[in-house]
Amino acid sequence: MAKYCCSEVSRALSDVIISNRYDLWVCDFVYPAPIIPWDVQVPKVLFAHNVEAQVWERYHRITPNPLWRWVSWREYQAMAKAERRYISKADHLLTVSELDRKFFSRYFDPSRITVIPTGVDTDYFRPLPGDERPNHLVFTGSLDWLPNDDGASYLLKNVLPRIRSEIPEATLCIAGRNPSSDLRALGRRYGVEVIGWVEDIRSCVREAAVYVVPLRVGGGTRLKIFEAMAMGKPIVSTTIGAEGLPVTDGENIILQDDSSEFAAAVVRLLRDPVARGRIGRAARKTVEESFTWKASADEFDSALRKALIPNA
C-alpha cells in the first residue's frame, strides 16, 4: 500500500480544488487539519467537536500511572499547539457547546464562532414502555475512546461495588465498539456484560432502569446522554459527563462527582420508580423542545452561509 506524507496529500487536495470548483470546505475535527491546503482561496470551516487538548490535560490529572501521566502531558502539549495553529487558519469555527466557544475565544475571534447544539433523532430514540429490567444499569459509548474506557473502568472499580453493597442483584451492561482486553477482563471479574459493538444501541438503552455516565475526562458534548434522554431514561452522570449540555441537576438528570454519592444516587433511583419516571419524562421533554436534529441542522446551515458571506 502506498504511503503519503501530509504535504503530499495536501498538494493532491490542492490540485483537486483547483481542477474543480468548491464553495466551501469543512474540516471535521482537528485531526485531518494537517492535510488541508489552508493557503487555497476557498472559505474553510473547522468543526471542533471537542477541545481535544483538554481531554489529555484532564487525563494527565487523574491517571495514577507515571508513564501515562508523562504520555498524556506530552499529548496535551502537542494537541494544544495543533489546535491553536489550525483553528487560527480557519475562516469560521464551529463548536458544540458554549463552554467550548468560550475556551476557543481566548485566541479566535468570537464573532467567527458558532455553537451547533447537539441534536438527536427523537423519532428514532423514543420511550418504549415495558422494556426496563429491574435494577439494571447501562453505560454506552465508543470504548476505544480514552474517556469512555476510563469511565467504564472507574464505574466497575469504584462505583458498582458500592451499588451492590445496597442492591446485590444490580446488573450492568457496557456497550460500545472496540472494548480493550483489559476492560473485558475487568467486566468478567465484576460479573458485568461488556458486549462491544451493537448494531442498534437502543436495544441496550431501552433495558436500563438507570443510565449512567461516569466520565472523568472528556470534551465537547455527550451525544449518548441526549439519546438516553430522548428514550426517557433517568440518568446519573458526573459533571464532566454532562458538560456543555443544558441539563439541570435534580430535574432532568442527576449529577454527582464523588464515587460514593454517584452510587447513592443510582441506588435511590433504582428504589424509586416514581422519581425515575419523573426525571425520564423531563429528560425527554428537554430534547423534544430544543434539541432535535432539525434544530441542529438549521444552525449548521446558517453557520455555513455566514462563512460563505461573512458580512451578510
- CA distance linking residue 60 with residue 54, whole number of Å: 10
Residue 14: DSSP 8-state: H
Task: List beta partners, residue 27.
Answer: 46
Residue ranges for the chain with pLDDT beneath 50? 1-4
pLDDT value, residue 2: 42
Closest CA relative to residue 93, chosen from 293, 294, 18, 102 = 102
pLDDT for the residue numbered 294 = 83
d(CA 147, CA 46): 23
21, 45, 82, 251 from 18: Cα distances, Å = 7, 18, 26, 53
* 170 vs 157: CA distance, rounded Å: 15
Q: What is the Cα–Cα distance from 286 to 64, expressed in whole angstroms?
A: 38
Residue 47 has which C-alpha cell? 468543526
Kindly write down the DSSP assignment for every residue of 43-75, as one continuous string: -EEEE-SS-HHHHHHHHHHH---HHHHHHHHHH
Q: How far does CA 95 lie from the centroid of its chain?
A: 13
Query: What domains are defined for the chain?
Result: 22-119+293-308 (3.40.50.2000), 136-290 (3.40.50.2000)
- Per-residue model confidence as pLDDT tens digits over 250-307: 999 999 999 999 999 999 999 999 999 999 999 999 998 878 888 888 889 989 998 8
| β pairing state of 136-140 and 210-213 | parallel
The residue among 164, 158, 138 whose CA lies nearest residue 216 is 158
Any idea which residue has 435534580 for its cell? 250
Residues ≥6 apart with Cβ < 8 Å to 2: none
Q: Which pLDDT score is estimated for 85?
A: 95
